[in-house]
Structure 1
Amino acid sequence: MSWTKNTTDIAGLDAPARALLDTLTPVEVPAGAVLFCPGEAVKGYVVMLSGRVDVHLIGPNGRDILLYQVAPGQSCIQSTLGLLGGEDYTGEATAAGPARLVLIPRDVFFALVDSSPGFRRLVFGAFAARMQDMMQLVENMSFLKVEARLAALVLDRAEGDTLRMTQADMATAIGSAREVVSRRLDRWAKAGLVTHGRGEVTILDRAGLEEVKNSPAL
C-alpha cells in the first residue's frame, strides 16, 4: 500500500512527487535506537509516520538538553540544516518508543525540492515552525528560572493531574540537573503543590504551580 496516501502533508503533493516518494520503503525503528550522533554526515530528510524521536544536545561534561522532539508532521531541523548547509549533525537522536519513518535520501530530496513547489513549501514551512520552537527554547533557557521551566513542564505534560516522567528526563527536558529537579520537587511537596514518587509527579495545587510558572524572569 502507498504510504504517501496515508500521510496528511505528503498526500497533498503533486502526483510525480508522490510517485517518487513511493519508491522509498518505510522502516521500523525499535525504542531506544540511535538515529544519528554528533559528527555524522546527514544521510537524508526524515518523514515520521508514527512514534517520536528525541533530539538531544550533549555537553562535554556528559549532561544533555532536549532540543526538540520529532513526531508525525514535524521536521528534524538538524537534518534540514545538514542537507541545505552541508553541516554534520551536532546532536543525538534516539527513538522514544517504537517508530516508523521514511528516510528521503539526499539526491531524492534535492530532486523534489527542484521539481515540486508543494514539497518545497512543505519542507520550508516545517523548517520555519521548528525554528520558532528553537527560538522559544533559547528564550526559556536564557530568561526563565529553573522553577518556572520545571513548573511549565509539569503542567504542560501532565495527563490529568499526573506526570509520568523520571527526574532525569525532567532535568534533560528543562536543561538542568537531576539533583536540581529533585530539590525543587521536594520543596514543592513541602509547600503542598505536588506529591512525587519514582517516575511520577501528582499536581495538588494547579493554581500554585501556575504562579511558579509565571514567576518573574531572571
Structure 2
Amino acid sequence: MTETGWLEALPDLRPLDEPARALLSREAARVELKPGTVLFRPGDVCANFLIVLAGSVRVHLLSELGREIVLYRVTAGSTCILTTSCLIGREDYSAEGVTETAVSAVALAKPAFDALVAASPVFRDFVFHGFGTRLTDLMRLVSEVAFGRIECRLAEALIRHAPVGGTVPLTHQVLATELGTAREVVSRQLKEFERLGLVGLGRGRLEVLDTAGLRDLAAAASG
C-alpha cells in the first residue's frame, strides 16, 4: 500500500518513527474479507501478522467428536495471540480462525514483521502488549472451563449478550460453543433458569427476564 492512514485508527502505533512507518507503507497490505472466510486451520503455516481494523474473527478449537470451544475473538484494533505465537515460535497453527463478519485488516508478511519487532520499540510493545492481554483472557477461559460452575458461566454469558434484558440473539448451540460445553447442558440449565423466572423460552426464542437475578448468579463465579 502507498499510505498508512489506517495507523490513525491504532493509537498505540501512532508514535512509530519514520523508518518504521516507511517499512509499513512499503510492506503492509490491506485486505477485505467476507463473513465465513477461514483464515487458518490446525496445521497451516503462519506466514502473515494480521491487524484487524474492523469486524470480528473467531478463533476456536474443534474436537474429533465435533465439540467446539471459542478461545477468543479478534476485533477492531487487536491482533491474534495464536498468530503472534506461531510467528515467534515458528510453529504451525493449532486452532481455526474464521471471520464472523466482514473484516477489514492489514497483513504484514513474516520478514517485515520480524524486522519491525527487532527495530521498533513502539511496534514491539504493540505486539507484546496485545499478546499479554489476550493470554490473560485465555488463561481466564481455561480456569472457567476447568473449574467454573456452568450455571454461573451461562448467567454471565446471557448478561454479556443482553445487558439490559430482552432477547438474546444466540441459539443454545452457539452458547454451548462459547462456554465449551454440550448443547444439552445449556438447554437443561436454561430450563432451570426459566423455572426460576430468570429467562423466557419459546420456539427459537431466548429472553432475559431478570437481569438482577442473573447478575447475582454470575457474581457467584468469582465469590
TM-score by length of 1: 0.93
Alignment match of 1:21 (pick from 24, 37, 54)? 24
What percentage of residue pairs aligned between the two structures are identical? Answer: 40
Do the aligned partners of 1:54 and 1:95 also contact (CA within 8 Å) in 2?
yes
**How much has 1:179 moved relative to structure 2?**
1.6
**How much has 1:119 moved relative to structure 2?**
0.5
Equivalences for residues 1-218 of structure 1 within 5 A:
2-23=5-26, 24-162=28-166, 163-197=168-202, 200-215=205-220
SS in 1 for 2:111: helix
* 2-structure distance, mates of 1:199, 1:42: 39
Q: Deviations over 1:196-215 (max 9, x none)?
A: 34555322112221232233
Name the count of aligned residue pairs. 217
Do the aligned partners of 1:45 and 1:106 also contact (CA within 8 Å) in 2?
yes
Q: Deviations over 1:126-159 (max 9, x none)?
A: 1110111011111111111111111110112215
Do the aligned partners of 2:54 and 2:77 also contact (CA within 8 Å) in 1?
no
* 2-structure distance, mates of 1:16, 1:90: 34
Q: In structure 2, do the counterparts of structure 1 residues 8 and 198 end up closer, same or farther at CA, with 3 Å as the change threshold?
A: farther
TM-score by length of 2: 0.91
Do the aligned partners of 2:155 and 2:217 also contact (CA within 8 Å) in 1?
yes
**How much has 1:63 moved relative to structure 2?**
0.7
* 2-structure distance, mates of 1:35, 1:157: 25
SS in 2 for 1:26: strand
Which residue identity does 1:25 align to in structure 2? A
**How much has 1:44 moved relative to structure 2?**
1.6
* 2-structure distance, mates of 1:102, 1:30: 15
* 1-structure distance, mates of 2:33, 2:80: 16
Do the aligned partners of 1:82 and 1:89 also contact (CA within 8 Å) in 2?
yes
Displacement over 6 Å in runs of 4+:
none
Aligned-pair Cα RMSD in Å: 1.7
Q: Deviations over 1:30-74 (max 9, x none)?
A: 001110000101112110010010000111211110000001222
Query: Unpaired segments of 5 or more residues in structure 1?
Result: none
SS in 1 for 2:78: coil
* 1-structure distance, mates of 2:204, 2:104: 27
